[in-house]
Amino acid sequence: MINLILIFTFLAFSLAFSVSHEEVARDISRQTKGAWVTTHDQAYDAITKRELKKVTSYHSRTVKMFDKGKGSKLFDCDDYALTFKAAVSFHSLLRGANYICGIIIVKQEKDFGGVEGGDNVYHALNLVLVGDTYIVLEPQGYDVVPLSDYPNKTNIIEVII
């Protein structure tokens, strides 16, 4: 009986945080005024703030370990965004979840996260679902802001989940 209660409790918890790929694409596209959204899975889960903190700590340590203070210009915004997405995916695998972490391609007209905006500035960042809120995360300094408050949200060209 106890095992059955635990199974139902786990099922209710995991289902409460699952979001279909259609909902993900619709919500992001609506908030960004029409960005192209590509999803690859049928359903996704939201990450908690606590788990996101673990991932950012892991990503930061890993990048520093391989960079060794070189500050290579070859490892730029898209590399940070890709490796952060990979870190979230790896963490998802360990947790038996499928956390939403996308890569944002944006025309960055306004400054955000220590990166200056401009007329011809294109940038890569991450989009993460934390609880019921999509956040934009700058993976080079870990600045975060809700997507609804992101200063360049109407300039997002594409989101790849």
Specify the pLDDT at position 69: 59
CATH of the structural domain 17-160, one choice from 3.50.50.60, 3.30.460.70, 3.30.70.2340, 3.30.70.141? 3.30.460.70
Residue bearing tokens 């690859």: 40
Tokens of 36: 């192209």
- pLDDT, residue 64, reads 83
pLDDT of residue 70: 57
Residues across the chain: 161
Tokens of 50: 């606590």
pLDDT given at position 17: 60
CA distance 151 to 157: 14
H helix intervals, 33-160: 49-67, 77-95
Residues with Cβ < 8 Å from 155, sequence gap 6 or more? 106, 107, 108, 109
Residue 50 has what pLDDT?
A: 96
Give CA–CA dist 35/111, Å, rounded.
Answer: 19
Q: What is the mean pLDDT of each run of 10 residues along the chain (161 residues)?
A: 40 58 94 93 96 96 75 80 97 95 97 94 97 96 97 97 95
Domain definitions of the chain by residue range = 17-160
Q: In the prediction, which pLDDT does 71 show?
A: 59
| End-to-end alpha carbon distance in the chain | 39
- Note the pLDDT of residue 94: 94
pLDDT at 72: 61
According to DSSP, residue 76 is labeled -
